[in-house]
Structures are given as C-alpha cells and as structure tokens.
Structure 1
C-alpha cells in the first residue's frame, strides 16, 4: 500500500489546500502531521499569545480531521529524521507540503527535498500561501524582483488573475494510516498541548479579560470571513471601500483577517476571490478599481516576492534591498534603556505606551498604531534600528511573519520600500493618537494608571498640574513615567540626519532599493486617511514641526 504524508506548516486548514489534495489522491493511505522543528526554531522566540493561537489552530485542524476519520499527529524533532523513521516503520512514497517563502523554511524544505531524492520518495510542493507564485513573478519581471509596488502590479497583471480555490476532498475514499508507538515515543507526540507545555506563560496574567481576544482555527477564520464580507458589502453600498482604513477602530474587535491568513487558517485565495466577486457584483462588473479593494492582499504578496530570494531580508546587514542607516548603538546603556522603555510601554507618551502594552497583552494592535510604534522607535524619535522592533514584534505579534513584518518595518523606517529617505511623514505621538481616539478610551483601557486623567492632559500628562495629578491619583514620574525624549527636538534632529545621509549618497553608492510609485501607495501601505495626505509638505522645508502629521491645530 502506497503511503503519503501531508506535512502541515502554514496552511492549517482543509479548504483550498492543493498540497493536501495531492497527498490524498496520489497514495492509498494518508498521514497528516505537524512538526515542531527543534532544529530550526527556539520556542523562547514565541510569546504566549502567538503559541496559544497556533495550538488552538492545530486543535481545530485535528478536530476537523477527526470528523472525517483522520488524526493530526503533532511531533517534535527534525523533519528529515521523522520522515526517515516513517519510511522505515511504515513506508513512505510521497510527501506533500505548501510552499514556504521564508528563507529559514526554504532551507528546511531543501533538506527534505534532498532526503526525498536520495530515498526515491516523491515530493509535491504547492503554492497556496500567496496569491501568485513569487518565483513566477520574479521570472516574469525579467529575473529580478519588482522594486515598486506598481511594478509588481504590472507584473502580476501580465501573469493574470491568481488561481481560484480548489475544491474539497472526497474524504469517504480516504484511508488514514496510523503511526506506530515507536515513532510517537521517539518524537514526543503532543496531545492537546498548551503554551505552558512549552514553558510559556501570559505576559499580563493580571489582565485576563482582554488578553484572549483572538481564537485560532479554520472554523473561526471562516466565520470571520463572513463577518468581514458583510462589513465590506455595507461599505460598498455606502460608496466606499476599505472601511477599516477610512475609519480605524482601535477598541472594537478587529475585522482584520491577517492572523488567520498568517497561519493559513483562511485561504488567501478564498478571501481574494470572495471579496472580488462581492465588489464586481455590487458595481456590475467594473474591474478597474478591483486591485484597490484587494490592495492589502497584494502588498502581502509583494513583500513575499521581495523576500523569497533574499536570505537577509529580516536584517540590515548584507540585505541587498535595504539601505544601511547608522542607527543608535543599543550597546550604549542610554540607548538600551530607551529600547527597553519602548518595549515595556513606558516611554511617557500614552498613545505609544498603550500600543506597546496592547501588543504584549493581546498580541495585536491596529495597523495605524503599528505604524506609530515603528516610526517612534526608528526615524521619528528614538533613532533605533528597525531590526530591534522587528524582533520584538516577531515574538509577540500574532500575525507577524518574517517577510511581511520585515517589509513593513523597513518601509516605515525609510530603510527601503521608500523613495530614498524621502519620507516627510513623522508620526506625532500626541496629535496622531488624539485624532484617532479623541475620547482617550484606547489609552484608558491599556494604561489604567491614567484612567482618571482629564482628557486635556491624557495625551500630554507631563503638562498636568501637580494638584490635578494628586487629585486623580497619578503622579507623573512615579505612577506613570516622564517622557523619555523631547519629541519636537529629536524628530527635527532625526530628519536632519536623514537629509544628511541622503545628500551623502551618490548614485554609484545606492543599492537598487524598493520604493513606492506615488503618494497613493504611501497612503495605502500606511493606512493614512485622505486628510492626512493633504498635510504633506515639501521635503526640504525645515519648519520645526512639519514632520508631525495629524496636527491638532
């Protein structure tokens, strides 16, 4: 009897899973498994919420497989060793898996492919984590990555629409193979593991109410898709699209599907086609603005395309698409302290601190807040490398993966995906938050020490009179920290550093770097409302506060 293994990594779903279909139809019996690869990842790199979401997703996947007579084996170890033992104990004719765009995952997969070739085992790798095959996009672009988002759009237009989701499997004809006890004992099979199984515990155990707002798994992801499509339909009826960008809601449960897409609980192709069909139906076949409706999904594919052949995409050194900026050295105690204050949500700027605490507590922050946090850490205020921010987000942010998260960080920090250092936008940590949340409810939720602070001082508590501080029970510098920097001063200084760096570079010293094609792309990538774009000023204007968009006055 021929045996196939479908190896789940991302793509934790049964719907639209072409690699799983290949395993089911090309062998007489099927094994489904997930491997915690102890040779590739350190469990300590993951925060509690990320691990919980992954384990919830695996449990739902196992439950769904159980309904059709199967079982998901969760093993720990090196994939090649596991497949070798399955070959010896059970027999192994085929391994199927979804393409991984992460260079670490690709190195792992190359080892498995080599093992298959050496042992006359067939393998099938299918593209379903992205809309298009990043390799095909690069080939279609002349063998090089498209260095602008518009160039990426033009390239995928030449390829054509992404494939539609594949159909469901006929489970009635499927025979599931069981793994023998010797394999389960050797590779520590995990039954209903929790984060605590891996030695991970909540970062905010005293605040359980808001910590578990995201639930993993295919079933919940499909429910969220229905809810999201209803939200989009209502927006279409009212004459606009991307409602979460037009009117960001920082407090309500997010309609974003990025977490479900990151783990593949939801098919990116299903989301794309369901949203496109909804738009076409509403506007009677008008396809021209369709890519605007799905722009965030295309940005995701763009980042995967830029990273797939760049093993250093997640770092500044030896990254061919990234400008090397001389950020502050965090080995210097003062800079290290600044970084730790940012991580802990203790910068003294309530809007920034609320975002950082929400990240640690829930594993999620709205994209407009993410951009604020990234700008504050890098070119806006602290002048600390985006790599430090990326590493922190990769540990705690539920939807973080190396390609998309790196792309966003280096873009916002003006390290790449930007006209060479020509970004006049600097997020004011006071005014931007005040515009997004004028009532201050966002700050009060995540910074309880400021919950009684009058609204006129909530975003600038250092201006609050001592008598009022005592009255509300929050002494600045004691119960809540003072500002760690003077925003107006440091943002102006950082801008001058950017201008000096730009002026020092000649065309001969510039690497081919990614950049937006126009201001509209800046707006879409950074989730900026229309009124914000109207406030952009000329690059070389040295007015003291020109870089603080979203001003109050």
Structure 2
C-alpha cells in the first residue's frame, strides 16, 4: 500500500520540535514541506526589511533541518496550493494557525476552498499558550486589563500544552516545480546593511533553543530587576525566535517552570503572558494596528513635523537615551524593552507625533516585528490602548538614563561621539559647562546635535494637548 502524501505548510512555525501540525502530518504519511511568501494578501502589512532578513536565514536553517527538502513558493497561497494538489495528487494538508486578522481571513477562505474540493484540512495551535477565544471574563467578554487577564484568566485556565517531541524519521519529498532556492525569494536587502546585524543573532531553531538555555542558566536569576538595565544580559532576547516560531512559547514556559518557582520565573512567564494578551487584543480588535482602542484619542492634536520624525528615526534628537535606543534598533534590529518605552514616550508625548509613525518604523526595523505586540505596545505607550499607560505618564529620558544606565555603558556604546563626557553630563550634554565639553572633545551642534526640543516645555505642551481630550469627554 502506498504511503499517503500530505502537505505541511510552514508559516510562523519554522521548527521541527513542538510543532503540532508537523507532528500530526508525520503520522503514517509522506510529507511535502512547503513555505509560501505571501506579499499579496498581506498588502500594507507585508513584512518589513528587518523581518525579511531574519526570514531568509530562518528558512535556510529550517531547510537544512529538513535535509534540503523544503519547497519554496511566492504568490497567493490558494493558487500555489491548488496547483500542488492537482499536480501531485495530494488529499490532505496540515498547518498551524496564525492570528493576524488578514491571515485569519485568508486561511478561512483557503480552508473553505480546499474542503469544497474534497481536501482534508487540519489546523492546530503551535504559536500561543492559550487560544484568544478561550480566555474571557465570567460574562463572556474579553479582558481589557492585563493583570486579571493573566492571573484570573490564564493561570486559572488549563495549563499550557506540554511540548511535543520532534517526529522521528520524517518521510519527506519535495516539489520539482518549486522555486530553485530561498535566494529566489529576494528577501535580503540590495544594500548590505544587514551584514553587521547578523552578527548579533544566531538565527534558526538551534539558535533559539541555545538562547533559551543561556537565558535560563545565566540571565533569569536577575530578570525582574535586571531587565530594566539595557547594558546587562538580563533579558531573554527570544522575541524574534518566538515570532518566527523557531521555538514555541510552550517550550519557553515549561523550561522556565522547571527552573523553580520564584519572582524572576514568575515575571518571565508574565511577559509571555503579555504576548498572549497582545494577541487577544488583536483578535478581538482587528483594527488595532490603525484604530485607537480609546476613541477619544481620535481627536488628539498630533503634530506633523517631518524633520523631528527623521531625527528620531536616525537617532539624532540630541537626547542621548533616545538616540542610543534608535541606533541600537538600526544596528541590531532590536531594542531593549526599557528603552522602547523611553523612545516611544518621547515620540508621542515630547514630539507630539502620532504613534502610527512609531509603529510603522518599528515594523520595518525590528527583527521581532509582530503585528499584535507592536500595535498593542504602541497603543499602550500612547495611552490610547487597553490597560495603557496614562497619557500624563511621560518618561523623562534624562532621568531614565541616569537611573537605568547609571554607569553610562549603554549610551557610550551607541553614541561614541560623546563617550568622553563624565556621567554627570552624559545624559544631558547640552547642560555641560564649556570646559567639560572641551575636555571631552565635543562640540554640541557639530559632533552631536542640540536637542530638537526642550524637554520641560514639551512635557507641558503634551499635558495641555491631553487636557483638550478631557474637555471633549465633558
């Protein structure tokens, strides 16, 4: 009897271990593993440049794990899949679910179309600890505040699924009509800005598991407090690996739980919970990337200063803690979480520029650009989202630097032109006496920009702008 042939469609699950759809597909079947780059249905939500860079290397890693049997395509998935099925006489397909609204709509259409042609479609959860629709309040509505969502909803629900082992002796075949190789997807940039970026990461399933092990062995013991210090290694740096599915949240959750029960482990698991909360927000609010969850912000008097936006993007605002973060983003494709809050607050409150500008820039520059987390986080910092930081909570980038980069290591790493300044003026070089500037060899306005705004005045302007919303409410 011939072994039945099935498709496993890799999407945001670029791994072999703890891959529910692959595990099920491997039962008594010969598998055609495929990846389809879909820039058609995604439209304006097509992956940004940094994400495409990561995807290129992640697909190469996955293909190696599959003994070069990954078949690659580009186009509308329904067209690609129907063509494969017709040519190779396949009657069954497996995939792990995705949760972005455009993917849900696309996959619903694909499933309906395939089932109408007698194709069996199997979809599983390989990306989340809890399905968004399973965690609700007692009245059946979704949570809008994180703490009760996580403590009363998630933790009192079923325990996250235990990780599944890698299928043994996968029976794989490939499609001779697929693209020649991953390079044919043209994911890498034409200008080689990504060369240095790659040195900061170990991309792929093996790299993801090594990163988790390294964090749990050497970083998690100081996670709760240490994660606020951008120069220290007390963060997991797992977010891009989780986004592309090189490791599952279930693997991270249960590996952490095995380390024991303490405040650091609890805090790390709650951060995994924030990721889940972001997906819940997106699932129940499909317009999250564009629409304020709090409608009163629709009338907020945003500024439209293109020069200030460009200065922010390039890390040339003259505010060291902000510029260090933006330069870290450009160089590495990531930014420390504490600094993300600082640069975000600066954009939407000190500069009064719409959070959409930040969301779009991060979408293009982050290797962990995740639609749910990116949108929810920008709405959080802007004060217009679910369980958001109050708009009047305005981070002072000078005091944030003094508190969380007290030795100046982070700022000196990314802004070497002011590295000779003493710590007293490193976070506010415009206030340094001339003799200190001369001693450090710094000319403000030449070697490093003058601040593009006055922090105190811009804070007052932000609070005045927020008061206009209160008047609307009244």
TM-score by length of 2: 0.91
Please name the residue that 1:177 is paired with: 173
Deviation digits for residues 350-401 of structure 1 (CA, Å, limit 9, x no counterpart): 110111011011111110000001111112x011111110111111111120
Report what 2:351 is aligned to.
382
* Aligned twin of 2:83: 85
Q: Distance in 2 between matches of 1:98 and 1:465?
A: 60
Contact 1:327 1:384 in 2 (8 A): no
CA change 1:289–1:453 in 2 (3 A) is closer
Output the CA distance in 2 between the equivalents of 1:328 and 1:3: 58
Q: 2:215 aligns with which of 193, 204, 228?
A: 228
Distance in structure 2 (CA, Å) of the matches to 1:220 and 1:322 = 42
CA contact (8 A) 1:323 1:416 kept: no
* 1:477 match: 445
Q: CA separation in 2, counterparts of 1:440 and 1:446?
A: 10
Q: Which residue of 1 aligns with 2:143?
A: 146
CA shift in 2, pair 1:261/1:322, >3 Å: farther
1:272 corresponds to 2:253: yes
Assess, with a 3 A threshold, how the Cα gap between structure 1 residues 417 and 484 changes in structure 2: closer, same or farther. same
Structure 2 counterpart of 1:23, from 22, 25, 28: 25
Alignment of 1:362-511 (within 5 A): 362-379=332-349, 381-418=350-387, 422=390, 424-466=392-434, 468-470=436-438, 472-505=440-473
Deviation at 1:300, TM superposition (A): 0.8
User: Aligned residue for 1:216?
Assistant: 203
What is the Cα-based RMSD across aligned positions, in Å?
2.7
SS at match of 1:294: helix
Q: Residues 401 and 293 from structure 1, CA distance in 2 versus in 1: closer, same or farther, beyond 3 angstroms?
A: closer
Deviations 1:8-38, CA, capped at 9 Å, x for gaps? 111111111101112222x632111111113
Q: Structure 1 unaligned segments of length 5 or more: list them.
A: 236-240, 507-553
Write the distance in 2 (CA, Å) between the matches of 1:43 and 1:59.
26
Is the alpha carbon distance of 1:248 and 1:486 closer, same or farther for their aligned partners in structure 2, counting shifts above 3 Å?
Answer: same
Distance 2:42 2:202 in 1: 23
Classify 1:43/1:363 alpha carbon distance in 2 versus 1 (closer, same or farther; 3 Å): farther
Q: Is the 8 A contact 1:43 1:198 kept in 2?
A: no
Contact 2:78 2:110 in 1 (8 A): yes
Q: 2:191 corresponds to which residue?
A: 201
Residue correspondence of structure 1 range 13-92 to structure 2 within 5 A: 13-25=15-27, 28-41=29-42, 46=47, 48-66=49-67, 71-92=69-90
Q: 1:321 to 1:129 in 2, by over 3 A?
A: farther
SS in 2 for 1:74: strand
Q: Deviations over 1:487-527 (max 9, x none)?
A: 11111221233244235315xxxxxxxxxxxxxxxxxxxxx
Which residue number corresponds to residue 529 of structure 1?
A: none
Separation in structure 2 between the aligned mates of residue 348 and residue 96 of structure 1, nearest angstrom? 52
Q: Secondary structure at the match of 2:211?
A: helix
For residues 351 and 289 of structure 1, what CA distance do their matches in structure 2 show? 26
Partner Cα distance (2:417, 2:156) in 1: 55
Match of 2:297 among 310, 324, 330: 324
Q: Distance in 1 between matches of 2:395 and 2:140?
A: 37
**1:424-462 per-position Cα deviation (integer Å, ceiling 9, x unaligned):** 432111111122112222222212322333433222222
Partner of 2:270: 295
Offset of residue 167 of structure 1: 2.7
Q: 5+ unaligned residues in a row in structure 2: which ranges?
A: none
Kindly indicate whether the alpha-carbon contact (under 8 Å) linking 1:15 and 1:167 is maintained by their aligned counterparts in 2. Answer: yes
1:190 to 158, 161, 181: 181
Change (3 A) 1:402 1:293: closer
> 1:204-235, CA deviations, whole angstroms, 9 ceiling, x for partnerless residues?
87xx3x76312210001111111111136645
Task: Show the counterpart of 2:157.
Answer: 159
Q: Is the partner of 2:37 in helix, strand or coil? A: strand
Does structure 2 retain, via aligned residues, the 8 Å contact 1:101–1:304?
yes
Scaled by the length of structure 1, the TM-score of the pair is 0.78
2:163 alignment partner, SS class: coil
